[in-house]
Amino acid sequence: MPTRDEINKRPLLILGTHILAPEIADVVSDIPGVHVAGFVENMDRTRCANPINGLPVYWIDDAAALAGDHAALCGIATTFRIRFTDQIDALGMPFATLIHPTAHVSGTADIGTGTLVGAGAVIASHSRLGRHVFVNRGVLIGHHTLIGDFVTMQPGANIAGACEIGAAAYVGMGAVIIDRIKVGAHSIIAAGAVVVDAVPDHVLAAGVPAKIVKRNIPGK
């Protein structure tokens, strides 16, 4: 079984072909030893016809031939990216776990497989991030905070200490979550919201202070 460092040094395929994917490719290209080798598409095969930034776009089935010596990383912000990662898992391709050189991650923090920590992010002590978490640029995560699998945190989100963010939650740009708050699975925190009370599963919370404005949402 290859180590995380060995996987991170493999040629990297970015999952997705929309506007975020080349941005992710640019971010990870700043990391020493990372080489982006192409992109993977799983919904519209016609998107494989044209390269992105001069790099090939592989159809999901064709990526199977690369599973033995490449690694993958999601270039998708939607928390439904589990659909894509499950397909890659089925091919036997491992996932890279990457931290931008300008980010600060405490040595006591734990970062799950397939997670990307972007430029300028800070992850404090004893925090735990799950699998395939997307930590966009400038995100702050406080100490002893738990971040579930497939969570997305957009630029400038500030999550205080001892919080718990449920699986596949989405925290919008510039949102603030004060200490010891729990945000439920598949919930959305709108951009600029200030969360001062617990947020249940499958809701949209917005405003200052944040209030639930929509229920029974599937997620984002």
CATH number of 4-96: 3.40.50.720
Give the dihedral sign, CA 172/151/87/54.
positive
Mean pLDDT, rounded, of the chain: 97
Q: Which two tokens stand for residue 187?
A: 């919930």
- Using CA atoms, how far apart are residues 99 and 206, in angstroms rounded to an integer? 30
Please state the rounded mean pLDDT for residues 44-51: 96
- Using CA atoms, how far apart are residues 12 and 75, in angstroms rounded to an integer? 11
* 70-84 pLDDT per residue, tens: 999 999 999 999 999
CB–CB of 75/116 below 8 Å?
no
Residue 219 confidence class, pLDDT cut points 50, 70, 90: confident
Q: Which residues contact 145 (CB under 8 A, 6 or more apart)?
A: 124, 127, 128, 159, 160, 161, 162, 163, 164, 165
Please state the rounded mean pLDDT for residues 109-120: 98
Neighbours of 83 (CB within 10 A): 11
Domain 99-215: top CATH class: mainly beta
Active-site residue among 18, 126, 143, 144?
143
Note the pLDDT of residue 49.
97
Note the pLDDT of residue 18.
96
Note the pLDDT of residue 50.
96
Total residue count of the chain as it appears in this document: 220
Note the pLDDT of residue 137.
98
Note the pLDDT of residue 124.
98
Per-domain boundaries in the chain: 4-96, 99-215
Counting residues of the chain whose pLDDT is more than 90, the rounded percentage is 98
Enter the pTM of the model.
0.96
Please state the rounded mean pLDDT for residues 38-47: 97
Annotated catalytic residue 186? no
- Using CA atoms, how far apart are residues 220 and 217, in angstroms rounded to an integer? 8
Note the pLDDT of residue 1.
82
